[in-house]
């Protein structure tokens, strides 16, 4: 019996190539389904090849990475803010009134650091633990001083900076003025003394540049304030000052210490909504109120009436987010204990009822100028 050979049109064995199909994707786009222009139901949409999604996946991944890097930079305090802001570890440096402190710009030009404190009343029990206490920079009684005597020697400060051009330039960069305009800028400021422990961004001079760090200045510190009542120079070291930077959570307290310090009493000075032409300050030594003209060194001081509201009102709010970064001071702190942040600048309007600072026990009534009556701004400077 004979067997016919298989037809040449039908294979009898396995294919010669691999069973998995082609090793490379097709060079052209996949075929599209036929048009659904007829009466039949449209066919299912073709699945998008995975290699077509690579650019989209890469773009999304890039956005996520950028967001993570930005969050890390903001939280670590290294966001290229030019040294103005918070330290990487949330450090707040306490500075006693009579001490020069780290990295001074100049020798001390303070002539008095003895103003008695005016302790603000603690916030109500409903206030959050990280509440911020803001005070209007034009409020009567916020600052102290002695009649006909400046708390700072402004002309000496000018001489120190003019003798050191590099320091003068660094100072000017923080003050946002030309180097040649520093003398006029300093003469436009008013010498007074703090009457509350006050949170600021301080700037030391290190390696030829200004380095910013968060600080609390003790009550009694001699400062120069601008025409909105905001501290701009710490006279014990000649350092330029700017408003503080918002922080959240737990802060590490370092630096000096003093018996009256309470984190709940630290205030942030907000710029007055109007230019302050006359500062109404309290002279504890003479137990009297003084009207000091803006930019005057005390020569034109006059006794004035006791203000209707002799204690600055303290408005309470809560910070929402951190801001620009900076580097901390270089000195070794005397203490290093964590504390709950109570003096960060807020980013929302105050919602709690106002509390007041206890007024000094005085009742003088001679007059030459009255206290400014500007309304306090709604949120601290940030």
With a cut of 80, say whether residue 182 has pLDDT above it: yes
pLDDT band at 153 (very low <50, low <70, confident <90, very high): very high
Task: Look up residue 82 and give its two tokens.
Answer: 């030019």
pLDDT, tens digit, 9 for 90 and up, residues 358-374: 344 333 333 333 334 34
pLDDT band at 312 (very low <50, low <70, confident <90, very high): confident
pTM of the model: 0.64
SS (H, E, C) 63-124: HHHHHHHHHHHHHHCCCCCCCCCECCCCEEEEECCCCCCCCCCCCCCECCCCCCCCCCCCCC
Does residue 255 contact residue 333 with C-beta atoms inside 8 Å? yes
What pLDDT is stored for residue 316 in this prediction? Answer: 83
With a cut of 70, say whether residue 91 has pLDDT above it: yes
pLDDT, tens digit, 9 for 90 and up, residues 17-66: 444 444 454 444 444 444 444 445 555 555 656 555 555 554 444 333 33
What pLDDT is stored for residue 117 in this prediction? Answer: 62
pLDDT band at 351 (very low <50, low <70, confident <90, very high): very low
């Amino acid at each position: 019996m004979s067997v016919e050979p298989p037809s040449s049109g039908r294979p009898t064995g396995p294919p010669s190539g691999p069973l998995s199909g082609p090793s490379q994707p097709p060079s052209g786009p996949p075929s599209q389904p036929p048009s659904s222009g007829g009466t039949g139901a449209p066919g299912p949409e073709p699945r998008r090849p995975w290699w077509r999604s690579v650019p989209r996946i890469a773009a999304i991944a890039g956005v996520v990475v950028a967001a993570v890097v930005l969050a890390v930079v903001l939280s670590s305090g290294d966001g290229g803010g030019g040294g103005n802001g918070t330290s990487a570890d949330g450090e707040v440096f306490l500075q006693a009134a009579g001490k020069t402190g780290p990295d001074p710009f100049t020798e001390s030009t303070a002539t008095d650091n003895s103003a008695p404190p005016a302790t603000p009343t603690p916030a109500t029990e409903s206030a959050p633990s990280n509440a911020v206490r803001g005070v209007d920079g034009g409020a009567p009684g916020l600052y102290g001083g002695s009649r006909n005597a400046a708390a700072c020697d402004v002309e000496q400060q000018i001489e120190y900076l003019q003798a050191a051009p590099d320091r003068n330039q660094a100072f000017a960069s923080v003050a946002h003025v030309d180097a040649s305009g520093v003398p006029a800028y300093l003469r436009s400021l008013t010498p007074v003394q703090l009457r509350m422990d006050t949170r600021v961004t301080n700037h030391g001079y290190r390696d030829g540049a200004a380095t910013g760090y968060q600080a609390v200045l003790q009550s009694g510190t001699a400062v120069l304030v601008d025409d909105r009542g905001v501290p701009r120079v710490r006279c014990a070291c000649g350092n330029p000052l700017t408003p503080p930077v918002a922080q959240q959570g737990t802060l590490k307290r370092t630096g000096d210490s003093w018996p009256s310090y309470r984190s709940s009493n630290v205030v942030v000075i907000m710029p007055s909504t109007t230019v302050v032409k006359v500062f109404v300050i309290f002279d504890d030594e003479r137990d009297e109120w003084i009207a000091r003209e803006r930019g005057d060194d005390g020569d034109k001081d006059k006794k004035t009436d006791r203000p209707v509201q002799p204690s600055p009102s303290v408005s309470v709010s809560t910070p929402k987010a951190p801001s620009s970064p900076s580097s901390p001071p270089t000195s070794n702190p005397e203490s290093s204990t964590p504390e709950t942040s109570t003096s960060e600048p807020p980013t929302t309007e105050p919602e709690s009822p106002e509390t007041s600072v206890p007024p000094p026990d005085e009742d003088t009534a001679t007059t030459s100028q009255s206290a400014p009556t500007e309304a306090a701004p709604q949120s601290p400077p940030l």
